Amino acid sequence: MPRPYVLLSAAVSLDGYLDDTGPERLLLSSPADFDRVDEVRASVDGILVGAGTIRADNPRLLVNSPERRAARVAAGKPEYPLKVTVSGSGDLDPGAQFWHTGGEKVVYTTDKGAERLRRAGVAADVVSLGAALDWRPLLEHLHDVRGVRRLMVEGGGAVHTQLLQQELADELQLVLAPLFVGDPEAPRLFGAGAYQGGRLRLVETRAIGDVVFMRYEPTAPGTGSLASPADRHWLRLACELAAHCPPSRTAFSVGAVVVAADGTELARGYSREGGDPVVHAEEAALAKVDPADPRLAGATVYSSLEPCARRSSRPRPCARLILDAGVGRVVTAWQEPDTFVEGADGAGVLAAGGAEVVVLPEFEERAKEPNRHLLG
């Protein structure tokens, strides 16, 4: 199900806290960084905070720059992004600034919370998600019903932690502030629990005044049929690798990457790599991994094209090579057309062998790009 691109944004002290325990909100960012945050806000369709942040900070969550607001309007967007909050209890002050500034607001809650919020008369669209609140349906509702394609999440810790642990965050924008809080009662940025995968990918760092801005992306493949944000990154890479293939009139150009469960790249390859005129991408990649590597069992193979089910140039097709390597999950962009092989069903061979096959059709055009000349 489609959901928005989710960008987590937070400022944190050197000792990992989001705030102190005083009544006033602790200012962690520099003035120049507040302007960067304003720019990010202006670029999104929705801004979400948890109910805890509304209760603690009473934020307005506006785009402050008139120029940025004017640019939004000129681009046909609402002047302000949709403001979104999440509360199981419905315990929110109807007088909070959140409801009375900016543009449209929506609060996601439970049946119980909805009753309470409606009774209190909050100035927002109140959406109940039933007895309990789940992030996937919430994000799908934001996407499908409210048209949110990019969502900025501005905390607090409870919300950030859940979105990361449930593999729903596409990006983390973090500002490290040069101060200490030193109070174990203060809220931490990330709580305890199971985080998927190993190290995140650092994609950008910048000094902004006296703070350091960092941008990270998760790296861990999804589990089973559930696609993770990192699945998109790795499949995009596979599509990019396909562009390296020596051109051919008789075979597809394909890229492939093998990634361990903790997000470590084990190998990559592409069709006709290294001057071998018949080698396939998945085959080229798998040949670079030691067959005894225990990480293969939990690995995912990303291939821009569905792995082949039959081929004349080698004894084993790629679907078989993947199963024989012990890999149980394949993510691909595009089903093999009948151009060279009638009714090839690599996905069927993989599924019959117990592997999970995930297709991300949003990458199909990208995967076809280096193969246009073969597709008529």
Closest to ligand NAP by CB, 162 or 248: 162
Size of the site for Zn ion (CB under 5 A): 3
Q: Which is nearer to ligand NAP, 46 or 50 (CB)?
A: 50
**DSSP characters over 196-251:** -SSPPEEEEEEEETTEEEEEEE------TTPPPHHHHHHHHHHHHHHTTSPP-SSS
Q: How would you classify the pairing of strands 300-303 and 150-153?
A: unpaired
Backbone angles phi, psi at 255, to 5 degrees: -120, 150
Binding of residue 153 to Zn ion (CB under 5 A):
no
Nearest approach, Cβ of residue 205 and ligand NAP (Å): 18
The residue assigned the tokens 């361990």 is 260
Helix (H) or strand (E) holding 301: strand 300-303
Closest CB to ligand NAP among 64 and 89? 89
| Shortest reach from residue 8's CB to ligand NAP, in Å | 10
Of 13 and 303, nearer to ligand NAP (C-beta) is 13
Per the CB < 8 A criterion, the answer to whether 334 and 306 are in contact is yes
Residues at the site binding ligand NAP, with contacts judged by CB under 6 A: 10-11, 18-19, 25, 28, 49-53, 56-57, 86-89, 91, 133, 154-159, 162, 187
Q: Which is closer to ligand NAP, CB of 91 or CB of 204?
A: 91
Candidates 72, 83, 272, 280: give the one binding Zn ion (CB under 5 A): 280
Using CB under 5 A, which of 8, 63, 258, 308 touches Zn ion? Answer: 308
Would you give the DSSP letter of residue 339?
A: T
Q: Which does 308 bind (CB under 5 to 8 A by kind): ligand NAP, Zn ion, none?
A: Zn ion
- The backbone torsions φ and ψ at residue 70, rounded to the nearest 5 degrees and listed phi first, read -65, -40
State the binding partner of 87 from ligand NAP, Zn ion, none, CB within 5 to 8 A by kind: ligand NAP
Distance CA 320, CA 309 (A): 7
Instruction: Report, in Å, the least distance between residue 90 CB and ligand NAP.
Output: 7
Decide: is 318 part of the binding site for Zn ion (CB under 5 A): yes
- In 3-state terms, what secondary structure has residue 257? strand
